[in-house]
């Protein structure tokens, strides 16, 4: 039973070829490309509106020097949102449920932000390791604690996204299995369980959108500290 629950998180393989690469490239195929027409279609208009609203909210507290990251973070927001929500469809695979992929995104972007802060303003970046007004006796301990918390940030980003998506998918699978098992034995209970399954699917769709936004928002906060 335990193996069957977690089989959905295994990367599918066909002829010894992992299909996770195709799943990662899928979001870019689904979005329409810009056209040279004066009037855009509805899909492109809604996409531009979503990008404009999310980018303005994320980069509102950041200095103009950090706006160079807008294209990268906006693209990553669309990428994570599409992969999270597309994984809710039947017979699909969610690449963002893999900790290795999420840690790759989080670790690479976090390292780039830290290197950027060390190059542009090293004094200000190193100043975050010691809170202002801290006692002199506690300085070594506080520096160690802040350094550990700094290196935990990419781990927290990757684990948060993976844990939320994994928990939601497991709940949906358990509820759907219970609904099918109760359908012939207790039809009324099966109907109530089906309603619960529908509500869980809506909740998981909201979690998929929120977790992608939180991932990018935390990266923008880290960027704000180093720019």
Which whole-number Å values give the CA distances from 221 to 12, 99, 103, 139, 217, in the listed order? 35, 22, 18, 25, 6
Would you say 94 and 87 are in contact if contact means Cβ atoms under 8 Å apart? yes
Q: b or e along 6-30 (b: 16 or more beta carbons within 10 Å of the residue's beta carbon)? A: eebbeeeeeeeeeebeebeebbeee
pLDDT for the residue numbered 37: 67
Higher-confidence position of 127 and 113:
113
Domain assignment present for 122: yes
Q: Is residue 201 part of a domain?
A: yes
Domain-located, residue 200: yes
Question: Lowest-pLDDT range, 119-128, 140-149, 196-205, 207-216?
Answer: 119-128
**CA dist 110 → 6, 33, 215, 224 (Å):** 29, 29, 11, 12
8 Å CB contact between 80 and 88: no
At 215 the pLDDT is 92
Q: What's the whole-number mean pLDDT along residues 28-54? A: 71
pLDDT computed for residue 27 by the predictor: 67
C-alpha span between 175 and 186 (Å, rounded):
15
What pLDDT score was predicted for residue 220? 87
Give a yes or no: residue 74 inside a domain: yes
pLDDT score of 155: 92
The mean pLDDT value for 163-172 works out to: 86
204 located within any domain? yes
User: Going by C-beta distance under 8 Å and a sequence separation of 6 or more, which residues neighbour residue 71?
Assistant: none
pLDDT over threshold 60, residue 1: no
Give DSSP secondary structure letters for 128-156.
TTS-TT--GGGHHHHHHHHHHHHHHHHHH
| pLDDT at position 99 over 80 | yes
Range of the domain at 63: 17-28+47-226
Least confident of 36-40, 78-82, 115-119: 36-40
What tokens does 20 get? 């996770």
Tell me, yes or no, whether 165 lies in a domain: yes
Candidate from 4-8, 35-39, 72-76, 210-214 with smallest mean pLDDT: 4-8
Mean pLDDT of 128-138: 73
pTM for this predicted structure: 0.79
How many domains in the chain?
1
Q: Is the pLDDT of residue 11 over 80?
A: no
Residue 10 lies in a domain: no
């Amino acid at each position: 039973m335990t193996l069957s629950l977690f089989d959905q998180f295994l990367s599918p393989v066909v002829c010894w070829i992992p299909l996770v690469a195709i799943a990662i490239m899928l979001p870019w195929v689904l979005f329409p490309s810009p056209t040279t027409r004066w009037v855009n279609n509805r899909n492109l208009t809604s996409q531009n509106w979503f990008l404009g609203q999310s980018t303005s909210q994320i980069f509102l507290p950041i200095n103009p020097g950090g706006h160079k990251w807008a294209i990268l973070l906006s693209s990553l927001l669309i990428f994570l949102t599409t992969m999270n929500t597309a994984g809710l469809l039947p017979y699909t695979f969610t690449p963002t449920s893999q900790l290795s992929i999420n840690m790759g995104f989080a670790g690479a972007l976090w390292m780039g932000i830290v290197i950027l802060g060390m190059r542009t303003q090293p004094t200000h970046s190193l100043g975050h390791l010691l809170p202002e007004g801290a006692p002199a006796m506690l300085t070594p301990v506080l520096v160690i604690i802040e350094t550990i918390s700094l290196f935990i940030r990419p781990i927290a980003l990757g684990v948060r996204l993976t844990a939320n998506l994994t928990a939601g998918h497991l709940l949906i699978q358990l509820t759907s299995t219970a609904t099918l098992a109760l359908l012939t034995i207790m039809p009324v209970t099966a109907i109530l369980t089906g309603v619960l399954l529908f509500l869980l699917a809506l909740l998981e769709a909201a979690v998929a959108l929120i977790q992608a936004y939180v991932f990018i928002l935390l990266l923008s906060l880290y960027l704000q500290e180093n720019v």
